[in-house]
Amino acid sequence: MAARYHDVDPVYAETRDLRLLGFVLFLLSDCILFGAFIFAYIYLRVSAPAWPPFVGGHQLPWFDTSFAAFNSIVLFGSGVTMHFALENWKHLNKRKFNMWLIATIILGIGFLLGQAHEYSVVGISWAGSTMGASFFTLTGMHGFHVFVGVCFLTTLAIQANRGVYTGSKYFGLTAGTLYWHFVDVIWVALFFLFYLW
């Protein structure tokens, strides 16, 4: 293993794989958290006599699938730009790395703004129905992860431009990319559950 990282300090060479394993385990624990909430939502939904449920004699409205699809494209697009950012770092192209990373951050912020807009017009609230409680809990939890990701990527951009990472020592950038793809994958499940099912 040391031969693969001969140009970095020996501590980094010895601990990189362990750091990666630890980060993957962290993401798996987050998957379990989302999985628990998702299975709770599925149970509540299949147990309901009608979906969307009736509240006060009126059936709650469906979510806006078209807008959610557009917002999903924004988020999935950010996954593509993050991939290109990491690849350009590996090829020591710092200018393109910065360009793709900034694009990722902007798209992440755009997704959060889109989610805030949806919350303002969705026509249901967190209280009063299992549909609203499930929707705001799961998408809110995901939105919080996206917000953390935006902060994470912004920190990585600052660190990268201050010389923290090199062409062979960039675990933070790898972790940031894995985290960003994680929020993409979680959104695929949420989009299916709330907008397509």
SS3 64: coil
Length of the chain as a residue count: 197
How far apart CA 19 and CA 155 sit, in angstroms, is 18
Confidence of residue 4 (pLDDT cuts 50, 70, 90): low
Confidence band, pLDDT 50/70/90 cuts, at residue 134:
very high
Model confidence over 19-63: pLDDT tens digits?
Answer: 999 999 999 999 999 999 999 999 999 999 888 988 888 889 899
Q: Which two tokens stand for residue 190?
A: 């949420």
Report, as an integer, the average pLDDT of 190-197: 95
